[in-house]
């Protein structure tokens, strides 16, 4: 079985899975309540300038102000000021990354209240607002249009040099002078008239955006990207995809018509799924989503990973579990670590985990074995489109990974901090709470006219006080010459309690 894309559409959300040989390699979701804003273009207003961070907050009309670093600002950029990374970027060369070589301080480039056009490059993550850039890019079927960059680039993922040269030659003929373009991977083998059609379409789209910019006051939305389904078809539905499944008739018809206009030969690979069993259940995707939400991930050999998220980083612990090798202990540990390295790379991509990741492999005594695990992890992450840096394995068995945050990770998007434990991941034990109650009673000043202490507590704590800890309650009753009444209260948190003197 080759590569498949599955799109399941419901009123409340659209979900997409990419499978390679029945293995889920990518998951995307877009909920009606929480739209994906990446790619949207706004007319914004500078709300605050932060000279110490060389950044600014920009009001674009969303709940939280957007963040922009000076390196994302093209206000005063001349052609000579700009370095364009396109062909040199092996990881994600479908994206042009303009970089500033000489930059004035941001406080000399912007003033509070100034209006400017920006595009969201990263959506909001956690408590942080979106990140924006003035280097606008508009993706088409075959090209990415860059109005701020005078450059032609060709994706490095088109392997043949002669094809890359042909595409660059075609683009020199059909381009609009003064604008930048990058030829996407799906353009391999595409004819000149198709590329010209994309150039014309993107130019008209850009003119519409400029017209809106001149007519509307800030903050205002000037352009929103395609829906998730159409973005996936545009970006991922290449000739290498064997089948595209869609389980909603209206979306199926719309996508067929969309593909018919641009790549009619690919419409035969688009299939409507109408079986009683849900599409994601049929393909085993729901099971993988459940697995990707779990703290513990079992390996085929019997070992397992434990994945913990903190505010600053993600920590992955590798354990042998039920894995018992037939040879010496070092060989057993090596095999477990090699399998874990592949699973770590898979889970990072599937869950969309970014930032700093620490992987605690099982300690290995031999240097050559540590090298094998390091190279296994490097190989497993080589196909990851997110930019990554991987440190060599330390004497303690630790590897540090820095992975670009390209989207909100799966755990954040599908869950929220536990309201009961307030995100700590634990609560005080009932015994700890019971002893806190004892200490609180001892703080009460004795009173001649008060002979009863009423304790309201969670039922679990109340049961403990009435059973295992009843001798402690009786001792306090004798000490204070007061009756202690235990009242179970379902409305109280496990750690909460009330004390009333009567």
pLDDT tier at 4, thresholds 50, 70, 90: very high
Ranges 101-110, 269-278, 288-297: which has the least confidence: 101-110
Query: Mean per-residue pLDDT for 194-214?
Result: 89
Confidence band, pLDDT 50/70/90 cuts, at residue 412: confident
Rounded percentage of the chain residues whose pLDDT exceeds 70: 91
- CA gap 171, 150 in Å, rounded: 12
Mean predicted confidence (pLDDT) in 432-456: 86
CA distances from 212 to 35, 86, 208, 382 (A): 22, 29, 6, 42
Q: How confident is the model at residue 446 (pLDDT cuts 50, 70, 90)?
A: confident
Phi-psi region of 21 (alpha: psi -120 to 50; beta: other; left: phi over 0): left
Within 8 A by CB and 6+ apart from 40, the residues are 119, 120, 221, 223, 224, 225
Which of 176-180, 478-482, 496-500 has the least mean pLDDT?
478-482
Residue 93 has pLDDT above 90, yes or no: no
Q: Output the DSSP codes for 48-81.
A: EEETTTTEEEEE-SSSS-EEEEGGG--TT--GGG
Q: Which bin fits 218, alpha (ψ -120 to 50), beta or left (φ > 0)?
A: beta
CA angle 159, 375, 334 (to 5 degrees): 145
Q: What is the pLDDT of residue 75?
A: 55
Sign of CA dihedral 251, 253, 258, 264: positive
| pLDDT of 322 higher than 80 | no
pLDDT at residue 323, as a whole number:
57
CB 125 within 8 A of CB 66: no
Residue 90, both tokens:
């092996």
Residue among 351, 356, 434, 360 nearest 393 (CA): 360
Which residue's structure tokens are 């042909």? 166
Residue 280 structure tokens: 């994601």
Long-range contacts formed by 271-279: CB under 8 A, 24+ apart:
271/243, 271/244, 271/245, 271/246, 272/246, 272/247, 273/6, 273/245, 273/246, 273/247, 274/247, 278/8, 278/247, 279/6, 279/8, 279/245, 279/247
Mean pLDDT to the nearest integer, 88-95:
40
| Cα 487 versus chain centre, distance | 46
Looking from the CA of 7 toward its CB, the CA atoms found within 13 Å total 26
Residue scoring higher pLDDT (314 or 31)? 314
Write out 280-292 in H/E/C secondary structure: HHHCCHHHHHHHH
The DSSP result for 212-275, as a single string, is HHHHSPSSEEEE-PPPHHHHHHHHH--TTEEEEEE--HHHHHHHHHHHHHH-GGGGGGEEE---
Per-residue pLDDT at 17 = 92
Q: What is the largest CA-CA distance in the chain?
A: 99
- How far is residue 18's CA from residue 27's CA, in Å, rounded to a whole number? 7
pLDDT of residue 126: 66
Mean pLDDT within 198-220: 90
Q: What is the pLDDT of residue 244?
A: 94
Look at strands 23-31 and 97-100 and give their pairing: unpaired
Question: Cα angle vertex 238, ends 41, 139, to 5°?
Answer: 15
Q: Give the DSSP letter of residue 501.
A: E
Note the pLDDT tens digit of each residue in 47-67.
999 999 999 999 999 888 999
Does this model's pTM top 0.85? My answer is no
Cα–Cα distance measured from residue 26 to residue 346, given in angstroms and rounded to the nearest whole number:
9
- Residue 264, pLDDT > 50, answer yes
- Tell me: pLDDT of 32 over 90: no
Token pair, residue 464, equals: 């403990």
Q: In the structure encoding, which two tokens stand for residue 55, read together?
A: 């950044």
Q: How far apart are the first and last CA of the chain?
A: 74
* The pLDDT of residue 302: 85
Is-contact 325 303, C-beta < 8 A? Answer: no
Question: Which domains are delineated in the chain?
Answer: 3-34+229-285 (3.30.420.40), 41-224 (2.40.50.140), 294-414 (no CATH), 430-501 (3.40.1260.20)
């Amino acid at each position: 079985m080759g590569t498949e894309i599955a799109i399941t559409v419901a009123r409340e959300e659209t979900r997409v899975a990419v499978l390679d040989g029945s293995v889920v390699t990518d998951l995307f979701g877009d909920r009606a309540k929480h739209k994906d804003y990446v790619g949207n273009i706004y007319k914004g207003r500078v709300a605050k300038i932060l000279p110490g961070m060389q950044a600014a907050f920009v009001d674009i009309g969303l709940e939280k102000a957007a963040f922009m670093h000076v390196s994302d600002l093209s206000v005063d950029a001349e052609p000579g000021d700009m370095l364009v990374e396109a062909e040199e970027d092996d990881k994600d060369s479908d994206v042009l990354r303009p970089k500033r070589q000489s930059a004035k301080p941001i406080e000399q480039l912007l003033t509070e209240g100034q209006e400017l056009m920006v595009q969201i490059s990263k959506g909001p993550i956690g408590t942080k607002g979106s990140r924006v850039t003035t280097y606008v890019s508009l993706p088409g079927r075959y090209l990415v249009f860059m109005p701020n960059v005078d450059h032609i680039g060709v994706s490095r993922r088109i392997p043949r040099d002669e094809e890359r040269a042909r595409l660059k030659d075609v683009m020199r003929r059909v381009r609009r002078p003064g604008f930048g373009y990058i030829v996407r991977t799906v353009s391999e083998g595409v004819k000149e008239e198709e590329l010209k059609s994309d150039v014309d379409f993107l130019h008209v789209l850009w003119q519409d955006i400029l017209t809106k910019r001149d007519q509307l006051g800030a903050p205002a939305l000037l352009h929103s990207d395609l829906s998730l389904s159409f973005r996936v078809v545009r970006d991922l539905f290449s000739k290498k995809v064997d089948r595209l499944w869609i389980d909603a008739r209206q979306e199926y018809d719309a996508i067929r018509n969309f593909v018919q206009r641009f790549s009619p030969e690919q419409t035969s690979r688009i299939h409507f799924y109408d079986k009683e069993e849900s599409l994601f259940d049929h393909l085993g995707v729901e099971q993988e989503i459940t697995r990707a939400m779990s703290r513990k991930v079992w390996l085929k050999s019997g070992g397992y990973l434990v994945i913990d998220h903190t505010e600053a980083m993600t920590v992955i612990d590798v354990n042998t579990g039920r894995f018992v090798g037939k040879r010496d202990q070092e060989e057993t540990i090596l095999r477990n670590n090699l399998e874990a390295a592949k699973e770590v790379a898979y889970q990072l991509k599937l869950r969309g985990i970014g930032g700093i990741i620490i992987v605690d492999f099982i300690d290995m005594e031999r240097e050559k074995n540590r090298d094998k695990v390091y190279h296994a992890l490097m190989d497993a992450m080589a196909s990851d489109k997110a930019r990554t840096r991987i440190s060599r394995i330390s004497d303690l068995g630790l590897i540090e990974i820095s992975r670009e945050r390209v989207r909100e990770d799966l755990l954040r998007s599908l869950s929220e901090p536990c309201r009961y434990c307030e995100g700590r991941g634990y609560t005080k034990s009932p015994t700890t709470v019971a002893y806190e109650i004892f200490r609180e009673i001892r703080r009460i000043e004795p009173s001649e006219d008060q002979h009863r202490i009423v304790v309201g507590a969670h039922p679990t704590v109340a049961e403990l006080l009435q059973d295992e800890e009843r001798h402690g309650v009786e001792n306090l009753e004798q000490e204070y010459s007061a009756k202690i009444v235990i009242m179970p209260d379902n409305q109280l948190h496990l750690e909460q309690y009330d004390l009333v003197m009567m």
